[in-house]
Structure 1
Amino acid sequence: MISSEKKKLRRKLLKQRQSLDKKIWQEKSNSLCEKIKSLSLFQEAKTILAYFAFRQEPILNSLFTMEHCWGFPRCVDQSLIWHHWIPGDAISAGTYGILEPDLNAPILNSFEVDLILVPAVACDHQGYRLGYGRGFYDRLLNSTQWQHIPTIGIIFDFAYVSRLSVEPWDCKLKAICTETQYLNLLESDN
């Protein structure tokens, strides 16, 4: 059962994010992408899982170059199936109106992936994330084959909160990136 506190916070932050002026949204997204590009974790990764912006999430399009192999999700039943995607390949609206790669694009397996850029409504100082409430990323990050892969939560500064209420299925992210900061949460655990 999702707490009413989480639902209220989700509504508030989604409203705040969707009320961003388009120019400011683009500027924040560009700054966030520049931060990501500067990370050795990103630079050294060969295959990266990402997302196409939805509901005014940070836009990551400037990252999508041929320097990396990219994977994008398709929502299938209660799971995310990851497909290989090359910049310029077809995408179309799928489940929930989220852009997805072609159904026939090759599937990516966990052993091929070096980094996961995780969309979030909010993240907290401990590395927990608040998603949209459907549990797709919770199920993915809790499955054994995906747990070893570094994860970076992608949010804007205003969505970086001190503490989220945590459910037993919530997984900590390894890092969080906003338009002004990169927080390596593995270092803070030591």
Structure 2
Amino acid sequence: MDSDIAHRKRALRAELRERRQNMTSSEREAATTGLTENLKSVVNGLSARSISCYLSSYNEPDTRPFVNWATAEGIRILFPISREDGLLDWTVGDGDEEFTGISGVPEAVGTLLGPIAINDVDLIIVPAAAIDESGLRMGWGRGYFDKTLGSMEKCPPVYAVVFDSEYLQEVPREVHDQPVNGIVTPTRIITV
């Protein structure tokens, strides 16, 4: 059973990667504009003053304009830093200085605050490969965010960011997969 689910996830991830690579620059630009506005709405709606957000890689929905807005608004942003043990560390970077982390994604430069620093935020914004209608998040297979969310005693609202076509009726589920409270796409905000 598990190998069947793992196989279905791999196939779906490959399809989603290809779709992302085939997006035109004008499609990406429009998606970034809509996404930025919708992320601002979520932050304002929750009156969040401290958030965690990732730095997007090339094929992901672009979080940088949103990060710039949040920084200008004086919102404290924790950025994830991947560790060898599969956990996430956190730093308060300005989002300007970055490096490629061990998992191959952009990460902010800053003082490491430790894995439990995430417990102090009002909102967690996570990447995803796809989200389904029940709020189940399928990531890219490394498990960093599933481990983090699964270990939190009191978790603030978690919103996953995807392109519109990545909001699906259903995604394959494994035991460790963590659901989210909301989904932000370029055209809508969905609360689960």
Length-normalised TM-score, structure 1: 0.88
Of 135, 147, 152, which residue of structure 1 is paired with 2:143?
135
Q: Residues 144 and 39 (structure 1 numbering): CA distance in 2 closer, same or farther, change over 3 Å?
A: closer
CA distance, structure 2, for counterparts of residue 54 and residue 113 of structure 1: 23
Count of aligned residue pairs for this structure pair: 183
Residue 169 (structure 2) aligns with: 162
Residue 66 (structure 1) aligns with: 72
Unmatched 5+ stretches in structure 1: 186-190
The DSSP-based 3-state class of the residue aligned with 2:92 is strand
Alignment of 1:100-115 (within 5 A): 100-102=107-109, 104-107=111-114, 109-115=117-123
Q: Residues 131 and 55 (structure 1 numbering): CA distance in 2 closer, same or farther, change over 3 Å?
A: farther
| Matched AA of 2:81 | R
- 8 A contact 1:121–1:155 mirrored in 2: yes
CA distance, structure 1, for counterparts of residue 35 and residue 110 of structure 2: 29
Residue 49 (structure 2) aligns with: 46
- 8 A contact 1:66–1:87 mirrored in 2: no
| Matched AA of 2:78 | G
| Matched AA of 1:94 | G
Following superposition, the deviation at residue 43 of structure 1 comes to: 5.7
Residue 17 (structure 2) aligns with: 14
Confirm or deny that 1:177 pairs with 2:177. no
Of 56, 59, 65, which residue of structure 2 is paired with 1:56?
59
Unmatched 5+ stretches in structure 2: none
Of 127, 132, 140, which residue of structure 2 is paired with 1:124?
132
| Matched AA of 1:116 | I
Following superposition, the deviation at residue 96 of structure 1 comes to: 3.1
| Matched AA of 2:89 | I
Please give the root-mean-square deviation of Cα atoms over the aligned residues, in Å.
1.9
Q: Residues 5 and 111 (structure 1 numbering): CA distance in 2 closer, same or farther, change over 3 Å?
A: closer
State the identity as a percent: 28
Following superposition, the deviation at residue 66 of structure 1 comes to: 2.9
Residue 188 (structure 1) aligns with: none
Length-normalised TM-score, structure 2: 0.87
The DSSP-based 3-state class of the residue aligned with 2:72 is coil
- 8 A contact 1:153–1:173 mirrored in 2: yes
Of 136, 152, 177, which residue of structure 1 is paired with 2:159?
152
The DSSP-based 3-state class of the residue aligned with 1:53 is coil
Q: Which moved more, 1:102-111 or 1:175-184?
A: 102-111
| Matched AA of 1:110 | I
Q: Residues 165 and 120 (structure 1 numbering): CA distance in 2 closer, same or farther, change over 3 Å?
A: same
